Amino acid sequence: MRIGDIVQRYGLRAEGPGDWAKLEVHSVAAIDHAGPGQITFYSNPEYAPLLPTLQASALLVREVTPGFAGLQLVYKDPQFIYAKLALEFYRPDHGPIGIDPRALVHP
């Protein structure tokens, strides 16, 4: 999914370096595990020490946050957008659809 599409779909404000609109992301992750190709969120100052070394492709924030040099996606409730994106990226595998040809019904 492209960052530009995410920004447009959810009405986010993008703040950061480079041509971010075409940047692809493939999942969300917790701030202490996020890496390239992932989006995370920041709302708790307890995690501020992680920001300078954070490798995530984008950071969802309430307001532009010093300490993270990458792309910041600003929204009034970053955790809400994170949850919406988690639902978009999560695709459960429910197995094959249909009736197994070996299925039997007892009379």
Cβ burial of 65 (10 Å; 0-12, 13-18, 19+) is: middle
Q: Which stretches in the chain have pLDDT values below 70?
A: none
Q: What element of type H or E holds 78?
A: helix 78-89
- The structure tokens listed for 99 are 């009736």
pLDDT of the residue at 61? 97
pLDDT for 25 equals 96
State residue 17's pLDDT score. Answer: 86
Q: What is the pLDDT of residue 87?
A: 93
pLDDT at 10: 96
Q: Rounded to a whole number, what is the distance in angstroms from the first to the last CA of the chain? A: 50
